[in-house]
Structure 1
Amino acid sequence: MAKDGFIECIKKGRILYMSYTVDLSKVIEKMNLENCTPEVDIDEIKVSQSDVNRPALQLAGFFDYFDANRIQIIGQVEYTYMQKMDKDHGVAMMERIMQAKVPCIVMCRNLDISPEFVELSTRYGVPIFKTSKTTSSFMAEVIRWLKVELAPRISIHGVLVDVYGEGLLIMGESGIGKSEAALELIKRGHRLVSDDVVEIKKVSDETLIGTAPDITRHFIELRGIGIIDVKTLFGVESVKNIQSIDLVIKLEEWNKEQEYDRLGLEEQYTEFLGNKVVCHSIPIRPGRNLAVICESAAVNYRQKKMGYNAARELYNRVTNNIMKK
């Protein structure tokens, strides 16, 4: 669940999508902004859009398709334009922007703020901030951060481990051995991200990141033993707070009637929040070393990313051998 609340919930199939907000105070703290209008109450102001807006067209009087939910950023270009335009017109345009109840206005490069703008800010309850950063660098930084904070997300039952730098999400029925496999991976030098519940965020159409809920972070539940603190037992190098999800391992009970993939020529995928992730179904039988299997899957996945596919290489060798006869 979101730490800063949510606006709406929309059910699509079996996945619950949520639109989230971030408290403006959190943006101020993260971006190290200077509050130029301390008399404006910011406690109830929230940001719901990861994109920002440079109101150049609005200062010129064009308000079609103006998105008032975005943070408004004024850089050197907008500031110089306001300096050259008629003062009353500039104040009128800024008033129209503030009347729309934008979350805030940020002046980059420590640009000066006129008393007229401060008076409008107080009247309409729209805070104005300053930053010493250039406009482009500030925009890039705040958009990147807001995309993560406002990303669509779901919580699933599973274990997320960093194995050789690859985010390995282990899934399966309760009691099948996910936590035990994760514990063995930790003992082999890999890092735990989350046990039991994994919060997945979609930060782009290509990237999913996983984290642990605050209440269960760094803990593992082992049946018959109870709760163990991985960070305390194995050291700070054995845990990680956030990790991209690159590969999914689904553990399932061995079924002798079922056909299992033995070559891996065609990749299988599972989907989270509309993003596809490579997925392997691993049948469980007594004596199988899950940690070694997970390590091998992670290394094999990395090899494929680097352009080498062992299954395809074997297929080509067999095909060439047949053609020679």
Structure 2
Amino acid sequence: MPDSVTVADLAKNVRLSVLQGEEYLDRPITTSDICRPALEFAGYFKHYPAMRIQLLGITETSFAKEIGHEKRKEYLERMCMPATPCFVVSTDLPVMPELKAAAKAAHIPILGTPLTSSRILGNMTSYLVARLAKRQSLHGVLVDIAGVGVLITGDSGVGKSETALELVRRGHRLVADDRVEVYARDEQTLVGEAPMILEHLMEIRGIGIINVMTLYGSGAVMPQDTIDLIVHLETWTPDTHFDRLGDRGDTQMILDVEVPKVSVPVKTGRNLAIIIESAAMNYRAETMGYDATKTFDENLNRLIKQNSQANQTGGSHD
């Protein structure tokens, strides 16, 4: 479930100053959408998004000053609805007296910032999307391998945590073990993080719970990471077919985001950490335009063509 967010949380995490209404900072914020009121200052309230944060910048304030005191007072009072979480005034602009009075009467806090409207809009949206986005809990281990977020999945006991621990020993960073809380930052980007109760912790069979940050330092952990690649560990059996050329292009849908996926057979004697590390490096190379499978196909086709030409040349001498 999405986290609940209050105006106090927003002010603390986005570094907003409380200009008025400090006693009302417990008001809830239920959407990451933010309103920059424009038509409202022209008296149009048919589709007024009252549940959104109301952001007032230079443009909104300048226009409001031109409509006269009585209209400004009326419109600002209508904007102070029970569902309105707060007003944010950007660019260190002075708060209009009519807004102060209307917000005080409606118990709505007013926050301020020296940042421009565009900057604070981006900051607030990023924070609220991360806090309010729909979340899905996945069974697996999330590790950052040289900038590639790799989600390691597989049946219980297949060796996910032990493999992740070896990756940490090789200089990579743990994000989450056992449970990964996932949300979609946008239509193409998934972000994973550890539940608060499991942050920095790993369970290793035969040892128990270990704190990775305590044992390996702060450089061995990350609070969150994008999920760029899924590596699924499967117990090897003779009758199971595994992709040998890497040309299947398997993917997995998580929260409507398609993520590349590779399946790795687990067999005695295989160094899974090195294999997963190589899979991450290969993924990174592919995103930079290098495709090893394509290179192999080109080399194979060239060899076939050369052999065919050689056979034709040899046959013409007979």
TM-score by shorter chain over 0.5: yes
| Alignment correspondent of 2:87 | 105
User: Is the contact made by 1:52 and 1:72 (CA closer than 8 Å) also made in structure 2?
Assistant: yes
Q: Residues 39 and 178 (structure 1 numbering): CA distance in 2 closer, same or farther, change over 3 Å?
A: closer
Deviation at 1:268, TM superposition (A): 0.5
Q: CA offsets, 1:14-59, max 9 Å, x none?
A: xxxxxxxx1111001122222232365232x111221211101111
Q: Distance in 1 between matches of 2:62 and 2:297?
A: 65
Aligned to 1:166, which of 145, 148, 154? Answer: 148
User: Is the contact made by 1:195 and 1:220 (CA closer than 8 Å) also made in structure 2?
Assistant: yes
Q: Are residues 1:323 and 2:305 paired?
A: yes
Q: Distance in 2 between matches of 1:90 and 1:101?
A: 20
Deviation at 1:170, TM superposition (A): 0.5
Q: Distance in 1 between matches of 2:3 and 2:132?
A: 11
| Alignment correspondent of 1:146 | 128
Gaps of 5+ in 1: 5-21
Q: Distance in 1 between matches of 2:234 and 2:11?
A: 47
Q: CA offsets, 1:56-82, max 9 Å, x none?
A: 111111223221111111111111112
| Alignment correspondent of 1:199 | 181
CA RMSD of aligned residues (A): 1.5
Trace 1:127-142 onto structure 2 (pairs within 5 A): 127-142=109-124
Q: Are residues 1:303 and 2:280 paired?
A: no
Q: Which runs of 4+ in 1 moved over 4 A?
A: none
Aligned to 1:78, which of 53, 60, 64? Answer: 60
| Alignment correspondent of 1:42 | 25
Task: Figure out how many residues of one structure are paired with residues of the other and give that number.
Answer: 307
Gaps of 5+ in 2: 309-318
Amino acid in the other structure paired with 2:36: R
Q: Distance in 1 between matches of 2:234 and 2:90?
A: 55
Aligned to 2:221, which of 239, 243, 264? Answer: 239
| Alignment correspondent of 1:180 | 162
Aligned to 2:106, which of 118, 121, 124? Answer: 124
User: Is the contact made by 1:101 and 1:124 (CA closer than 8 Å) also made in structure 2?
Assistant: no
| Alignment correspondent of 1:32 | 15
Q: Distance in 1 between matches of 2:3 and 2:60?
A: 35
Amino acid in the other structure paired with 1:246: D
Further displaced range: 216-225 or 106-115: 106-115
SS in 2 for 1:200: strand
Q: Please identify the structure whose Cα radius of gyration is greater.
A: 2
User: Is the contact made by 1:161 and 1:168 (CA closer than 8 Å) also made in structure 2?
Assistant: yes
Amino acid in the other structure paired with 1:32: R
Normalising by structure 1, we get a TM-score of 0.91
